[in-house]
Amino acid sequence: MPMPQFIALPAFQDNYIWLLLDETTLQVAAVDPGDAQPVITWLSRHPEYQLSTILLTHHHQDHTGGVLTLKGATGCKVWGPANDNIKGIDRRLEDGFRVCLFEQEIEVLTVPGHTLDHIAYFCNHLQDPWLLSGDTLFAGGCGRLFEGTAEQMHASLQRLANLPDNTTIYCTHEYTQANLRFARAVEPNNPDIKVRLEVVEDLRRDGRITLPTTLALEKRTNPFLRCEDQHVRAAAAAHSGAMPTTGVQTFSAIRSWKDTF
């Protein structure tokens, strides 16, 4: 089956609501619609499309705030984590579930850390695999630890890092520039970070989106996926005052550093 078309709708200050368009059925899936208005506006401008599904990654209001309005307006079905506090979910998803969206199989991955209920959606689509990573893996960074532990988040990121390198990653915030400025502080001599930051700063100067990204690019430039690298370990030691002996310790040190960067 052909890949769905991905469209990013800006919301709030720096959120993106991703729309997945099936050109065969003219159905649309919306990912983490924290605000209903951008989706309603898009649908009104494209009346040939019908919102059929909402995919949620976690319970934060900036990802779920528009769900009930959109469900009431369109009759769409809502998929999301097995969290009873999220209103409107029709299908509660758990780790390892395989669901069909637009005739494509999507695997549900539990990735706790940012929140305890966080899930991601992975489609191993032939030559073009893709991932909806929510607030777990960002371009150049990762989510804050609001509920989970460093051990949980590190394990979640390692799980995502084991996906195919050509996986295209659709995350939900425009944090890339700030993340890469931190990555440059961690690895000032990493040429991939230097070049990527220059490209991203040009994009943001023009008000353009920096997403999606790819797993291969993240492995070269995202310090939170590079916790075994000697340069990242050395930077963590210099900041924390103690040489980490495990990837989790490195992650914990640089995540704490990023929180105050």
Residue ranges of domains in the chain, CATH in brackets: 5-224 (3.60.15.10)
Least confident of 29-38, 42-51, 90-99, 122-131: 122-131
pLDDT bracket for residue 194 (50, 70, 90): very high
User: Residue 229, Cβ neighbours under 10 Å: how many?
Assistant: 17
Is 62 within any annotated ligand binding site?
A: yes
Residue 222 confidence (pLDDT): 98
Is 125 within any annotated ligand binding site?
A: no
Residue 109 · residue 88 · CB < 8 Å: no
pLDDT bracket for residue 118 (50, 70, 90): very high
Q: Calculate helix-pair angle for 176-186, 247-259, nearest 10 degrees.
A: 120
Is 239 within any annotated ligand binding site?
A: no
Residue 125 confidence (pLDDT): 79
Kindly report the length of the chain: 261
Distance separating alpha carbons of residues 136 and 69, to the nearest angstrom: 26
91: pLDDT strictly greater than 80: yes
Distance separating alpha carbons of residues 176 and 139, to the nearest angstrom: 5
Handedness of CA 141, 220, 244, 177 (dihedral sign): negative
The pLDDT of 154-180, averaged and rounded, is 98
pLDDT bracket for residue 46 (50, 70, 90): very high
Q: Catalytic site residue 63?
A: yes
Among candidate residues 35, 58, 59, 118, the one labeled active-site is: 58
Among candidate residues 60, 117, 118, 154, the one labeled active-site is: 60
Among candidate residues 22, 32, 135, 154, the one labeled active-site is: 135
Is 173 within any annotated ligand binding site?
A: yes
What does each C-alpha distance from 132 to 167, 181, 239 come to in angstroms?
Answer: 10, 24, 32
The pLDDT of 226-253, averaged and rounded, is 97
- Interacting residues of 30 by C-beta distance below 8 A, sequence separation 6+: 17, 18, 19, 20, 39, 51, 53, 54, 55, 70, 76
Is 63 within any annotated ligand binding site?
A: yes
Where are the strands (E) in 47-163, listed by range?
Answer: 50-55, 77-81, 91-93, 98-101, 104-110, 119-123, 130-134, 137-138, 141-142
The pLDDT of 10-18, averaged and rounded, is 97
Residue 87 confidence (pLDDT): 96
Mean pLDDT of the chain: 97
Among candidate residues 63, 117, 118, 154, the one labeled active-site is: 63
Residue 126 confidence (pLDDT): 74
- Interacting residues of 102 by C-beta distance below 8 A, sequence separation 6+: 1, 4, 20, 22, 24, 25, 27, 29
List residues bridging with 152 in a β-sheet: none
Q: Catalytic site residue 154?
A: no
The pLDDT of 19-25, averaged and rounded, is 96
Distance separating alpha carbons of residues 97 and 100, to the nearest angstrom: 10
Residue 2 confidence (pLDDT): 80
Question: Does the pTM exceed 0.85?
Answer: yes
Residue 175 confidence (pLDDT): 98
Q: Where are the alpha helices (DSSP H) in 120-214?
A: 150-161, 176-186, 191-205
What does each C-alpha distance from 152 to 85, 139, 164, 226, 251 come to in angstroms?
Answer: 21, 19, 21, 16, 11
Residue 233 · residue 227 · CB < 8 Å: yes
112: pLDDT strictly greater than 90: yes
Residue 127 confidence (pLDDT): 83
Distance separating alpha carbons of residues 181 and 175, to the nearest angstrom: 10
Distance separating alpha carbons of residues 105 and 123, to the nearest angstrom: 6
Is 58 within any annotated ligand binding site?
A: yes
Q: Catalytic site residue 62?
A: yes
239: pLDDT strictly greater than 90: yes
Among candidate residues 114, 117, 118, 154, the one labeled active-site is: 114
Distance separating alpha carbons of residues 162 and 132, to the nearest angstrom: 15
pLDDT bracket for residue 3 (50, 70, 90): confident
Residue 193 confidence (pLDDT): 98
97: pLDDT strictly greater than 90: yes
Among candidate residues 32, 62, 117, 118, the one labeled active-site is: 62
The pLDDT of 212-223, averaged and rounded, is 98
Residue 192 confidence (pLDDT): 98
